[in-house]
Amino acid sequence: MQKRALLDHWFPHPFVSFLIFVTWLMLSHSLDIADIFTALLLGILIARLVSPFITRTPRIHWLPAIKLFFVVLWDIVISNFRVAKMVLGPMDQLHPKWYRVPLETEHEQVNTLLAMIITTTPGTVSAGIDQERGDILVHALSTDHADLDIQDIKQRYEMPLLEIFDVKITEGATQ
Domain coordinates in residue numbering, the chain: 2-53, 62-164
Distances from the Cα of 18 to the Cα of 13, 44, 59, angstroms? 9, 9, 17
- Find the helix or strand (DSSP H, E) in which 138 lies: strand 135-140
Helix axes 33-50, 14-28, angle to 10 degrees: 140
At residue 33, the pLDDT reads 95
Pick from 2-6, 102-106, 155-159, 169-173: least confident:
169-173
Residue 97's nearest CA partner among 128, 125, 130 is 125
Higher pLDDT, 55 or 151: 151
Q: Which stretch, 4-13, 33-42, 165-174, has highest mean pLDDT?
A: 33-42
Mind listing the pLDDT tens digit for each residue in 9-23? 777 778 888 999 999
At residue 36, the pLDDT reads 95
At residue 175, the pLDDT reads 44
Task: Give how far the C-alpha of residue 24 lies from the chain's centroid of Cα atoms, to the nearest Å.
Answer: 21
- End-to-end Cα separation, the chain, in angstroms: 47
Cα atoms in the 13 Å half-sphere on the side-chain side of 102? 9
At residue 60, the pLDDT reads 86
Q: Would you give the DSSP letter of residue 115?
A: H
134 pLDDT above the threshold of 50: yes
At residue 54, the pLDDT reads 78
At residue 2, the pLDDT reads 65
Helix axes 62-88, 108-120, angle to 10 degrees: 30
Mind listing the pLDDT tens digit for each residue in 72-85? 999 999 999 999 99
